[in-house]
Chains A and B, each alone.
Chain A
């Protein structure tokens, strides 16, 4: 912790050994609050400077990096075998998605850590991945001081790839977090967020459209099925109506014809009766009954004139109840 330039408050007393010409200083108290206060002051100064340079904060350079909507190629700066890395990696392994993880090993605590972290960020940055994750499990403030290192913040800002941090801490947000595109409070949370982001994309861009397609296909099939059923029904009814209409028309025509025929028959019957009556009036039998006689020659020809017969000839005289064979003895023409 103590380095050249570090300011600490030391309490003690000085001893002067005059015979030997030596001066001694006995430390009775070393005030670390001063030391921590100095570290905090330097940290604040660094934050102010990096903010002004848009390395960290709202306008941090890495925040403007475009994040792929499906970050599946993930670069990781971590120490393999640590709990933090296992927690982070576990999120991917339990998800249904195939994440490609490129691990770049690095110390994540101590003075040697910052250059390793910077190198790892640079190496992963060159691969053109979707995202770089800096992962470290929880630790004390001192353990995590490497993430307050200026060089780490600058490496994050310089990276063309979005850098996400999952550094477990309980108090302050590290400067690396401030420089990052996105920060999560733990490695687990970082893994969860990445998986959730992929899941969200998958649901919105794959699952939902697939469901919409399935629904629309079903709706279209239902609609066309209903269309065909309706047309089939309409067709059947229309044809049945048309045929029964035709049948009704035929029946009505038949009935009209029957009525007409009855009328014609009745007329014919009436006319037949009058004709029969008329004919009856001319019936020879009736005339014969009235006393008229019909004279016929032997050949059956009707005698209409005295000239039709010769004296001495024979004729048949037909009466109502028989006929007489008569010999002509005299013939006289009557004067009209």
Chain B
């Protein structure tokens, strides 16, 4: 099942915060960076897709304005 946006964002936050608070080993560093990159790419792709869908709908919303 695809991870939800909020879950993914929370996981990404946790990884980023761990760099400030935990003592991340170099081995962990790679794993964490790899996961964070994966999450960012996934969120980015989803955002781009959503933007495209919004772009498609925007003119339809704009058409609701009466042309008087």
Contacts and interface: CB of A to CB of B under 8 A. Distances in A.
Q: Is the interface of B mostly helix, strand, loop or mixed?
A: helix
B47 A238 contact: no
A231 B39 CA distance: 10
Interface of B: 5, 9, 12-13, 15-16, 19-20, 24, 26, 29, 33, 36-37, 40, 43-44, 47, 50-51, 54, 58, 61-62, 64-68
Contact of B51 (A203, A207, A221, A235): A221
Contacts of B26: 242-243, 246
Given A207-B64, A227-B9, A228-B43, A238 B20 contact: yes
B58 A214 contact: yes
Nearest to B23: A242
A217 B54 contact: yes
Nearest to A95: B68
A231 B64 contact: no
7 contacts: A96-B66, A199-B68, A210-B61, A211-B61, A228-B40, A235-B33, A242-B26
A234 B54 CA distance: 28
Nearest to B44: A228
A224 interface: yes
A243 B5 CA distance: 29
Nearest to A195: B68
Q: Majority SS of interface residues in chain A?
A: helix
B68 to A, nearest CB: 6
A239 interface: yes
A190 B43 CA distance: 55
Contacts of B20: 238
A161 B11 CA distance: 60
Contacts of A95: 68
Contacts, number: 65
Interface of A: 95-96, 199, 202-203, 206-207, 210-211, 213-214, 217-218, 221, 224-225, 227-228, 231-232, 234-235, 238-239, 241-243, 246
B16 A221 contact: no
Contact of B64 (A210, A228, A239, A243): A210
B12 A231 contact: yes
A199 B16 contact: no
Contact of B29 (A213, A231, A242): A242
Contacts of A202: 66
A218 to B, nearest CB: 8
Contacts of B61: 210-211, 213-214
Contacts of B65: 207, 210
Nearest to A214: B61
A91 to B, nearest CB: 12
B40 A235 contact: yes
Contacts of A232: 40
A95 to B, nearest CB: 8
A125 to B, nearest CB: 31
Contacts of B58: 214
A231 B40 contact: yes
A231 B16 contact: yes
A242 B19 contact: yes
Given A231-B16, A231-B40, A238-B19, A207 B66 contact: yes
Q: Please provide the 5 A-B residue pairs with the shortest distance between their CB atoms, ordered closest to farther.
A: A238-B19, A210-B61, A96-B66, A210-B64, A235-B36
